[in-house]
Amino acid sequence: MSLNPNLTAERPTFVTHLECSMTGERYEADQLHGLSSVGRPLLVRYDLDGVRAMAPRAMIEARPTDLWRWRELLPVRRTADIVSLGEIETPLVPIPKSGGPNVLVKDEGRLPTGSFKARGLVMAVAMAKALGVTKIAMPTNGNAGAALAAYATRCGIETIVLCPEETPEVNVREIAAQGARVYRVNGQIDDCGAIVGRGAAEGRWFDFSTLKEPYRIEGKKTMGLELAAQFRWKLPQAIFYPTGGGTGLIGMWKAFAEMETLGWIGPERPKMFAVQASGCAPIVRAFEAGEEHAERWEDAATVAAGIRVPKAVGDFLILRAVRESGGTAMAVGDPAILKAVDDCARQDGLLMCPEGGATLAAYREALRTGLVDEDDRVVLFNCATGLKYPMPEAGIALDRHGEIDLGGL
């Protein structure tokens, strides 16, 4: 099998610098950075005029449809630093019975390690490799740790992962199986992050917490780039996104701005719906209060572990994108989440993860309250394969030696 030419051909990259997402302070590219001097995420900036001249949209369209087709808008400069497990373009799956005639699910469970965390971590790990990082630590609710373990192991970076004690068992085992040292912590993900931060401050490892390095956003923004291409460069009316740390929502909003500057899309934007669980909804609370930052959510609890994030370092970026888009932040309860997962599987054959189920539950509520119309083209993000999550017991015993009522089956 021949290798994808996107990975083997040297292509120019156009990174000019990094900048603080709050103050605009400029930072040099090709150096190892965490947060900015004011403790906020750094954003990667590109020479978009150069991209427009060297990589017209038609050239991008002609390439194989994987994550690396967007090379000119990604930060990895040298092909030798790319680490890959086969990051495909994920499909848009209709769910007409459980969702509606204009509802599509972007099924991110098809990616390596079974979740959209592969997008962010493949980019962050590739850049860590390029910048000489040898040891990484990260807090996770499960899927991010699995993606980190896989990519870091592939390129020989030592990895320590800290999980809240409520993390699903399959995620913990997956992380360990792929080569990381994984620990359960009696607390939430931000408690795990505090431990990681202390070790980073002592120089024991590099902190890979959400948005505390600049490159996970760049991997996640490929969701927005893909959507534009899949919709023939006219974006959907609404996007429902399961929001914990919010990297993907922030990344897509960045991608849309870059594509407009390049002339690939017009100024129209989807309404961005930041979807949280009622048991952990700091972004929703801040949005409804008109605040720019979200206070920590105490006693967080939800079946949707991936969005059980009491406090997000990029809170103001999430809130800014939602407000600029004309969207909203919504919270849905666990019963509605579980019903949505069940409905989608039984009616449309797509097994969503709980976080994906939250987006379907939120869409139903938005439709009921008039925030979206049935005619709107809507994309829901299913962020991971439902196969990673506990399912109800099923199957009735059948004795092959006894009399079997075949009609009753």
Within a domain: 405: no
CATH number of the domain that residue 192 is part of: 3.40.50.1100
Domain co-membership, 126 together with 75:
no
Q: Does the pLDDT of residue 10 top 90, yes or no? A: no
Answer whether 147's CB lies under 8 Å from 121's CB.
Answer: yes
Domain co-membership, 16 together with 27:
yes
State the average pLDDT over residues 230-234: 97
Domain co-membership, 186 together with 229:
no
Domain co-membership, 252 together with 221:
yes
* Domain total in the chain: 3
State the average pLDDT over residues 317-330: 98
Last residue of a domain, one of 207, 228, 255: 207
Within a domain: 407: no
Amino acid symbol at 115: S
**What would the pLDDT profile of 324-376 be if each residue is shown by its tens digit?**
999 999 999 999 999 999 999 999 999 999 999 999 999 999 999 999 999 99
Q: Which range marks the domain in which residue 284 is found?
A: 92-99+102-114+217-388
Domain co-membership, 187 together with 222:
no
Percent of the chain at pLDDT exceeding 70 = 97
> What is the model's pTM?
0.93
* CA angle (42, 44, 46) in 5-degree steps: 155
Domain co-membership, 222 together with 327:
yes
Q: Does the pLDDT of residue 1 top 60, yes or no? A: no
Domain co-membership, 180 together with 243:
no
Within a domain: 332: yes
Domain co-membership, 238 together with 364:
yes
H helical segments located in 17-108: 48-54, 57-61
Within a domain: 212: no
Spatial neighbors of 216 by CB under 8 A, at least 6 apart, are 120, 121, 123, 124, 210, 247
Domain co-membership, 314 together with 364:
yes
Q: Does the pLDDT of residue 404 top 70, yes or no? A: yes
Within a domain: 222: yes
State the average pLDDT over residues 128-142: 96
Within a domain: 289: yes
Within a domain: 170: yes
Confidence of residue 117 (pLDDT cuts 50, 70, 90): very high
Domain co-membership, 377 together with 254:
yes
Distance CA 34, CA 104 (A): 36
Q: What pLDDT is recorded for position 4?
A: 60
Domain co-membership, 47 together with 173:
no
Within a domain: 86: no
Distance CA 196, CA 209 (A): 8
Q: Does the pLDDT of residue 8 top 70, yes or no? A: no
Domain co-membership, 298 together with 169:
no
Q: What pLDDT is recorded for position 291?
A: 97
Q: How many CB atoms lie within 10 A of CB 291?
A: 15
**What would the pLDDT profile of 375-390 be if each residue is shown by its tens digit?**
999 999 999 999 998 8
State the average pLDDT over residues 135-139: 97
Q: What pLDDT is recorded for position 347?
A: 98
